[in-house]
Each structure stands twice: as structure tokens, then as C-alpha cells.
Homo-oligomer: A and B are copies of this chain.
Amino acid sequence: MYASPIARLVQQLGKLPGIGEKTAARLAFHILRASAEDAAALAAAIVEVRQKIRFCSTCCDLTEADPCAICRDQRRDGTLVCVVAQPQDLVAIERAGGYRGRYHVLHGVLSPLDGVGPDDLRIPELLRRCGDGSVAEAIGEVILATSPSVEGEATAVYLAKLLRPLGVRCSRIATGVPIGGELEYADQVTLARAIDGRREM
């Protein structure tokens, strides 16, 4: 129904997650109306990201230079590794500030129903990092920072079982009522966990 270049763009945009046919058409018409520079910049950014981005050989984060900026940063504590599911989670923790250790990105969580097993995640790389005596700094503690969802919890438990025999201390991020949250509106599981996990003050 659309002219074929528009139809092709709508089809390609429709392959993006959460973008249905109507949203794809809206985006396509926006691209048609946007400045020539903006349209060219978007196309160039897509090409560039595919050409330049690779996995960091140490932490498996997405990076332009290998090793990545965090793995290269000598001021960071190399004995402490925070394991996250996705690169976005790493960015969220960096934004929160305060954490000065290194990271390991799994690129997913265990999810048997979706066909995601241990071999589909960057677990061998994590075990190599922790078990390998050749690394300059021995890893003393791994913070398992997957989400407190069913899959995230299962992944954390699975990793802890593999890491402890290597002599690595494993910890899990705290769960509870979020800062600024109202007790009244917290769900039952969160509240029960917050009470179980209470700390002396």
C-alpha cells in the first residue's frame, strides 16, 4: 500500500522489539520528515555500531576497544567482580556510582523455558577469570547482581555453586523495599524478603 521504499523501511523497523506495524509506520514517516542530517546520522550510527562494537575479551561487555575502559582502568579493584545479566545493567550500576570493582556480563540469564542454558551465557569466561591463576589479581569476591526474578535468582544460585569450589566468595545484591517506596504498596514477596533480610541498626 505504501510506496515500496517506505514499505521496506516499515518492514525493517517492525523487526525491532516492541515496534508493531503502526509504530513502524509512524517512525518511518518521522524519518521521512526529519532533516537529511538526522536520517543520515541514524543510518550511519547503525552501520557504525555493527562495525566497531565487539565483546571485551575479559568481562564480555560490549566495547569499542578490547579490553574495555573498565577492564583497563587500573584504579578499579580487580579482586571484586560484579556479575550482571546485560550491558544495560552494568550501565545502571555505573550510573548509581560508588561501585569501584570490575564487571562480568553474562548476556542473559538461565531460562530453560526459552531454551537458554549455561552454554548460551558467558559463564565459561567467568569461570576462567575466577579459576585462572595466570591473572594478575586473584578474584576474591563475586557479587551476583542478576535481577531478583525467578530466572535471575536461579542463575545466581547456579553460579554460586560453580564459583565457591574455586575459592571465590559469592554475594548477592540486597532485595527489599526500594528507597522512596511505600510499605503500603510493596508486594507481599518483597515485604517478606525485606523483613527476612533485616539488618541491625
Residues of A within 8 A of B (CB): 1-6, 8-9, 11-13, 15-19, 23, 25-32, 34, 36, 38-53, 62-64, 68-69, 86-88, 91, 94-95
Contacts and interface: CB of A to CB of B under 8 A. Distances in A.
Contacts of A39: 46-47, 49-50
A55 B38 CA distance: 20
Given A12-B45, A23-B18, A43-B43, A6 B38 contact: no
A155 to B, nearest CB: 18
Contacts of A23: 18
Contacts of A26: 17-18, 88
A128 B95 CA distance: 57
Contacts of A2: 62, 87, 91
A23 to B, nearest CB: 7
Contact of A5 (B11, B17, B48, B91): B48
Given A15-B34, A38-B15, A5 B53 contact: yes
A90 to B, nearest CB: 9
